[in-house]
Every structure is written in C-alpha cells, then in structure tokens.
Amino acid sequence: MTTYAAVYAAWKADPEAFWMDAAQRIHWHQPPSRALFDRGNDLYEWYADGLTNTCYNAVDRHVADGRGDQVAIIHDSPITGTIRKITYADLLTRVATLAGALQAQGITKGDRVIIYMPMVPEAVEAMLACARIGAIHSVVFGGFAAHELAVRIDDATPRAIIAASCGLEPGRVVHYKPLLDSAIEQATHKPDFTVILQREQEPCTLIAGRDLDWHAFQAGVTPADCVWVKGNHPAYILYTSGTTGQPKGVVRPTGGHMVALHWSMKNIYNVDPGDVFWAASDVGWVVGHSYICYGPLIHGNTTVVFEGKPIGTPDAGTFWRVISEHNVRSFFTAPTAFRAIKREDPKGVYRAKYDLSCLRALYLAGERADSDTIVWAQNILGVPVYDHWWQTETGWTIAGNPAGIEALPVKLGSPTVAMPGYDVQVLDEAGHPVGPNTLGAIAVKLPLPPGTLPTLWNATDRFKKSYLSHFPGYYETGDAGMIDEDGYLYIMARTDDVINVAGHRLSTGAMEEVLASHPDVAECAVIGAGDELKGQVPVGFLCLTKGVNRPHDVIVKECVTLMRDQIGPVADFKRAVVVDRLPKTRSGKILRATMVKIADSQPFKMPATIDDPAILDEIKAALQGIGFAKG
Ligand code: COA
Ligand code: AMP
C-alpha cells in the first residue's frame, strides 16, 4: 500500500518527475517539454510550453471517452423548488454553442469576460465557454455591491460581462441588473456588450445595443471548437481581499490548474470518476472555481450546483436531503454552515430522516474549524471529518488529509499535513525556521506547486511585495501557526488585516476606507471580533469630526448602509460604535490586535508603547454596549 510519507518523499526527491507524471492524467494537444519553468527573480511557471484546453479536459474528453450520458451537473435549488440534471453530452452542446456565440461577438483568446451570476448551471457553463475559446474569465461573487464590481471591471478590463437578471436569497430577490448597470456606470472601462440570462423570478429590461439576451444571442450560431492554449495561459482571474480596498487579481494558469485539481480529486477527496462530489460553496469563491466547476468536471465526476443555504431553505435538513437524494460521496463545505445547522438542530432530528450511507467523508475549509463543530459533525454523520487549509492564491489544498492515499489520524485543531508540492515552514520574524510547536509565520518554500498563482493580474510588483519580499525564497501565506513533532500543521490567525466572516475573506482595510468616506467620520478602525456562528464579524469604531453633534445611532446606521452599498451585504457589517479616540502606539499605530482581544474577552499584555492605557477601558465599555467584551 502506498503511504502519504512515501508519496510526499517521492515528490521531494524529484518534483519534476512527480509533476510530469501527474500531468499525464490531462489531455495535451502538445505535451509540455518539462514541468517547471524558472523565470528568475523568484517567478515560476508550470507546463508553460504545453498546449491544452480546460474545457476539452472538463467536457469533450469525457464525451469522447463514453461518459456522454453521465450527469455532469445537478442543479438543486431549494429556493426555486427545482432540480435539473445536465449530462456531459448536453453540457458539450450547451457550452460549445455559448462559446460560439461569444466568438461571433468577437471574443477571442486572451480577452477578459466578467461573470456575475447566482448559483445556476449557466454560471458554470459561462466559465467553461470562456475556457473553450481561451477567454479569461473573472467571476464576481453576487453578494458584492456595484462598487466592488466596478473596481473589478476597471482592473480586468473585460470585453464582455455575462450576468443574470437576478439572484435569489432566502426571502429576498437580489436585483443583479441594477447592480450591473450601476457598476458599468461607475467604472471607467466599459465592456463592449453584456449577456443577460433572464430568470423568471425577476426578468429585467435590456439596454438596446449593449445587453444581449442569453438565448437569443446563441440562436443559429456555429458551435465553437476548443482553442488550444499554452500551459501558462491564464484560465481565470479571481479577485480576493488584501489589506487595501484594491482587491488582488489572482491569476490561475491553465496547465498547472488542471494537473493539480485532477490530482486532488482522488488523492484528497477520494472520489473516482462517475462519483457525485458536492462542494456547498458559491461559484464566486475559489472553492466554487476549484470544486464546483473545474475539479469534479476535469476528473469526470458529477458536481452539484446548490442554490440554497444550510438552514432555512427550507430547514436544517437540506444538506442531508441533497446528499441522500443525489448519492453524494464526498461533501465539502465551510465550518460556519455546520455551526448554523448545529445551532438550529443540535440533536440531529433532521439528520435522522435521511439515509446518508452514500457519504464517505466531510471536508471542511475556508476558516478555522473549531473542535466542537468537528466532533458534532463526526457524531452526527458517522463519517471522517477532514479539515483542510488553503487559499484563493493556491487554488487547492496546502495542508490536508490525503484520504485517497492513506487516511491519517485526525488531530482536532489541525488540518493535518502538507500536500506534495508544498514545503511548508514556520518562520520567526527574521525568516528562520522555528522548531516544533513554536508559533510563527507560515510560509511555503518556493517554487509553489502547479495550480498556484504565478503572479497577480497586471501587478507583478504587487505580487512580489505582498507575498515574496518579507521572507526571501518563500511565499508568505499571511497565516500564523505551528507544526507539531508529527508534521501536523495548526493555523492560528492571520498576520494581516484579513478577516474571515462565515468563510468569506474580507479586508478590514477596505472597510475602513468605506467608513472614512462618511463625511462625519474623522478617524476609524475595523476589527474582526469572534462570533459563535460566523467565526468572526466586523466591528467598526468611529471617531467623529469635531463639531458634529448628530445622534450617534443615526451616524452608525448610515455607516452600515454605506458598507452595504459599497462592499455589499456579504461584509455583514452591522455593528459599529462611536468613540472619542482610538488606542494607539506612541508612533500613532492603531492597536487593532489589542482591541480584538478586548472584544473577545481574551487576556492581553498592555502594549509597552501604548499612548494612554485609559483608552482601553473606553473601548471595552463601548464594546460591551454592543454585546462584546462580556467575559
Ligand atoms: N448574493 C447576494 N447576497 C448574498 C449572497 C449572494 N450570493 N450571499 C450572501 N448574501 C447576503 C445575505 O443575503 C446576507 O444579507 P442580509 O444581511 O440582508 O441578511 C448577507 O449577505 C450575509 O450573508 P451570509 O454570510 O450568507 O449570512 P447569513 O446570516 O445569511 O447566513 C450562514 C449564515 C452560516 C447560513 C451562511 O453564511 C452560510 O451558508 N455560510 C456558508 C459559507 C460558505 O459557503 N462559504 C464559502 C467558502 S467555502
Ligand atoms: P480564501 O482565500 O477566501 O480561501 O481564504 C483563505 C484564508 O482562510 C486562509 O489564509 C486562512 O486564513 C483561512 N482558512 C482557510 N482554510 C482554513 C482552515 N482549514 N483552517 C484555518 N484557516 C483557514
């Protein structure tokens, strides 16, 4: 039997051979001459001179191999009460036609296309259609507001935007079209055209000469063939939060992406082609890219596109119904979803209604998985629960439990061990590796493996500055933690201003920029305070401009609305307080980490450089007023 240790050692001994072997699972129109291309200055690419196509590997190849009748996509929408199944053969026809229609409008290799859609199969089809013709897609999550969409339009400069008329949240229709129109108006760059999928729940008015109807623009077009692209051609750009309001455009290269995802489907998620795999996330996040769309399809699995929530659509048994009804083998979601179900149905009354014998394992990622949630999930499901750690930047697991090779013993609080390709080290501030069980910055020795980001879109200097400059020779993950004597990794906290709200990555810096734009706000700070359900929630502190004497609750309300309009409902910014001053060091740095400790009722050391310790009592009192710092 192969062991994890043997596989990891084989990679370490000869990474080139390891990744050339893995590349053989992918169809290449022209195979790459080698795996790694060292571009100098710590920049690397994988499979750069091979020729391939992502859509061919995700769709055409399976039809050619006789999987045409297998269901590729199950769309299960408890919100609309519908279930739709699309076979690989159907998917090929649909995607080739959509790609042909885009081509007929002049979209060619290298053009960017933004996709702003809810959880409908057409979102996945739009991604695949772009890949088919070598266009570079950038999916924007539906919970972002018009301003965030506008920022992405200006950065990616798309020739087209594909959107739906509306999205559906429980009890609320998300009006996509007005958001889209407003974003295009706000953006400096204008797309040549948009394509709108009209949903019957809320059709919209199309702007003549700019907006094309999804169905009408495909009528009578010639289906597109796959366009072969180089291994280093960007498959997509996905924006993620950094420390400022300007999101980072993570570039995903075609060849390495497919090789890594294909490897992960068996070795990590332990599914075989034909099995049903379900990631309950959203196409707007990296989990949706890798494990709703590309990973399962490239590997010949059936993927589930789920339009619903863990609770309330209609009840806390929805996940169990979907698993049971669609014969899901491996299931992937964020811990927050399980916390929501546990809160609603702690005894698992809904769970008992369904036969879940098809399920082999649960995978959790996106945020720290607390031990209570893992143990509850283990008990209620009776299958192994695997935490695994990764990021938008990597696109696939950095540390996980390689269940398809060998299921390693689970240690609560640890996402287990580094995957092949990742030489993970914990460094002290000077960049020296520390010993076992010692906290430090988590970094990965360069080069990163296939599938990870080679750079940021149009921003190589920012890429180097953000990830490569702090610890020369390493990629800085932005997470802090430790490795124990068995090589198990523990992720403890972020080292930057990124917070994680219900598995969604958000920037407190970006939120501060929004608050600072309020005319009455002179100074502000945003922290991520601990929350039982969502892991963290943002809390704002507002210092008002001298002379402003409007009621504080009105100003707080305006700030909450401003955040919803500027960043979007997904920021979940609902709590803010007005304070006289912020705690700072003598050099003027706001002591956000200390404020977090106060909010979470954690012990903290009085910062030696604090300007005036009495401010901390004021902060505590303000936090108590909104339900924090209770301990
Ligand atoms: N389009 C528009 N709005 C959206 C949206 C989308 N795709 N997704 C979320 N929102 C809105 C919600 O409607 C909500 O708005 P509200 O303030 O008007 O109620 C707000 O954004 C916050 O949403 P959410 O984080 O989903 O919180 P919730 O309280 O509605 O639900 C959970 C809580 C735990 C059920 C929910 O967060 C959840 O299912 N999390 C799973 C996380 C996940 O899949 N993460 C992906 C990474 S793996
Ligand atoms: P994202 O890029 O949105 O996937 O967010 C990545 C960040 O989420 C990581 O850098 C971590 O801070 C956090 N994260 C993701 N998975 C885990 C995990 N399993 N345990 C702890 N933190 C996690």
Cα four-point dihedral sign 12, 15, 20, 25: positive
pLDDT for residue 605 is more than 80: yes
Q: What is the mean pLDDT of residues 168-196?
A: 97
Q: What is the mean pLDDT of residues 509-519?
A: 94
Choose among 358, 402, 365: nearest CA to 382. 358
- Which ligand 2 atom lies nearest to the CA of residue 393? 2
DSSP 435: -
pLDDT for residue 143 is more than 90: yes
CB of 623 within 8 A of CB of 539? yes
Cα angle vertex 101, ends 225, 189, to 5°?
115
Centre of ligand 1 to C-alpha 127, Å, is 22
Choose among 360, 274, 343: nearest CA to 65. 274
Strand (E) or helix (H) holding 490: strand 489-494
Tell me the H-state helices in 268-310: 286-288, 295-298
* Rg of the chain taking only CA atoms, in angstroms: 24
pLDDT score recorded for residue 161: 98
Q: In which band, very low, low, confident or very high, does the pLDDT at 626 lie, cut at 50, 70 and 90?
A: very high
Q: What is the mean pLDDT of residues 234-256?
A: 93
Distance between CA 577 and CA 567 in Å, rounded? Answer: 19
Q: In which band, very low, low, confident or very high, does the pLDDT at 586 lie, cut at 50, 70 and 90?
A: confident
Q: Classify residue 43 by burial, with Cβ atoms within 10 Å: 0-12, 13-18, 19+.
A: middle
Residue 444 has which token pair? 């990965």
Share of the chain above pLDDT 70, in %: 100
CA-closest residue to ligand 2 atom 21: 368
CA-closest residue to ligand 2 atom 13: 367
pLDDT score recorded for residue 631: 77
CB of 478 within 8 A of CB of 494? yes
pLDDT score recorded for residue 245: 77
Kindly report which listed range (115-124, 173-182, 238-247, 260-269) carries the lowest average pLDDT score: 238-247
Cα angle vertex 160, ends 156, 165, to 5°?
110
pTM (2 d.p.): 0.95
DSSP 571: G
Cβ neighbours around 291 below 10 Å, total = 27
Cα angle vertex 334, ends 330, 340, to 5°?
110
The three-state DSSP-derived secondary structure of 504-519 is: EEEEHHHHHHHHHCCC
pLDDT score recorded for residue 41: 96
Distance between CA 273 and CA 299 in Å, rounded? Answer: 6
285-314 tens-digit pLDDT = 999 999 999 999 999 999 999 999 999 999
Distance between CA 235 and CA 255 in Å, rounded? Answer: 9
Residue 502 has which token pair? 């219900």
Tell me the H-state helices in 280-417: 286-288, 295-298, 318-326, 335-344, 371-381
Is any atom of ligand 1 closer than 6 Å to the C-beta of 282?
Answer: yes
Cα four-point dihedral sign 167, 168, 174, 175: positive
Q: What is the mean pLDDT of residues 227-239?
A: 98
Q: In which band, very low, low, confident or very high, does the pLDDT at 271 lie, cut at 50, 70 and 90?
A: very high
pLDDT for residue 375 is more than 90: yes
CB of 35 within 8 A of CB of 15? yes
Q: In which band, very low, low, confident or very high, does the pLDDT at 118 lie, cut at 50, 70 and 90?
A: very high
Distance between CA 150 and CA 142 in Å, rounded? Answer: 13
Cβ neighbours around 609 below 10 Å, total = 11
For residue 273, give every residue at least 6 positions away whose Cβ sits within 8 Å of its Cβ, in sequence order, or none.
67, 299, 300, 301
Report the DSSP beta bridge partners of residue 252: 236
Centre of ligand 1 to C-alpha 505, Å, is 12
524-574 tens-digit pLDDT = 999 999 999 999 999 999 999 999 999 999 999 999 999 999 999 999 999
pLDDT for residue 244 is more than 80: no
- Which ligand 2 atom lies nearest to the CA of residue 287? 4
More confident residue, 611 or 163: 163
pLDDT score recorded for residue 8: 98
Tell me the H-state helices in 74-196: 88-104, 121-132, 146-156, 176-186
- Ligand 2 contacts (CB < 6 A) are 240, 286, 365-369, 387-389, 391-392, 415, 477-479, 491, 494, 500, 505
- Which ligand 2 atom lies nearest to the CA of residue 494? 12
Centre of ligand 1 to C-alpha 542, Å, is 26
Strand intervals (E) in 216-287: 229-230, 234-240, 248-253, 276-279
CA-closest residue to ligand 1 atom 44: 281
Tallying the residues shown for the chain, one arrives at 631
Distance between CA 597 and CA 206 in Å, rounded? Answer: 50
Distance between CA 460 and CA 454 in Å, rounded? Answer: 9
Distance between CA 227 and CA 135 in Å, rounded? Answer: 10
Beta pairing, strands 276-279 & 302-306:
parallel
Distance between CA 316 and CA 308 in Å, rounded? Answer: 11
pLDDT for residue 279 is more than 90: yes
pLDDT score recorded for residue 497: 87
Summary mean pLDDT of the chain: 96
Choose among 561, 569, 607, 565: nearest CA to 588. 607
Helix, strand, coil tally for the chain in percent (to 5): 30, 25, 45
- Which ligand 2 atom lies nearest to the CA of residue 415? 19
Q: Which domains does the chain have, with CATH numbers?
A: 88-227 (3.40.50.980), 502-624 (3.30.300.30)
More confident residue, 432 or 611: 432
385-444 tens-digit pLDDT = 999 999 999 999 999 999 999 999 999 999 999 999 999 999 999 999 999 999 999 999
Distance between CA 547 and CA 296 in Å, rounded? Answer: 59
Q: What is the mean pLDDT of residues 467-479?
A: 97
pLDDT score recorded for residue 353: 98
pLDDT score recorded for residue 463: 98
Report the DSSP beta bridge partners of residue 82: 77
pLDDT score recorded for residue 431: 96
Structure-token match 């760059």, residue found: 189
pLDDT score recorded for residue 313: 97
Q: What is the mean pLDDT of residues 78-107?
A: 98
CA-closest residue to ligand 1 atom 2: 143
Residue 589 has which token pair? 């740095």
Q: What is the mean pLDDT of residues 362-375?
A: 95
DSSP 395: S
pLDDT score recorded for residue 215: 98
- Which ligand 1 atom lies nearest to the CA of residue 280? 44
Choose among 86, 110, 113: nearest CA to 101. 113
For residue 178, give every residue at least 6 positions away whose Cβ sits within 8 Å of its Cβ, in sequence order, or none.
146
- In three-state secondary structure terms, 40 is strand
- Which ligand 2 atom lies nearest to the CA of residue 389? 19
pLDDT score recorded for residue 608: 79
Q: In which band, very low, low, confident or very high, does the pLDDT at 333 lie, cut at 50, 70 and 90?
A: very high
Choose among 306, 290, 282, 295: nearest CA to 115. 282
CA-closest residue to ligand 1 atom 1: 143
Max distance between CA atoms of the chain, in angstroms, equals: 74
Residue 401 has which token pair? 């439990």
Distance between CA 73 and CA 275 in Å, rounded? Answer: 12
Q: Classify residue 461 by burial, with Cβ atoms within 10 Å: 0-12, 13-18, 19+.
A: exposed
pLDDT for residue 607 is more than 90: no
Cα angle vertex 333, ends 329, 337, to 5°?
125
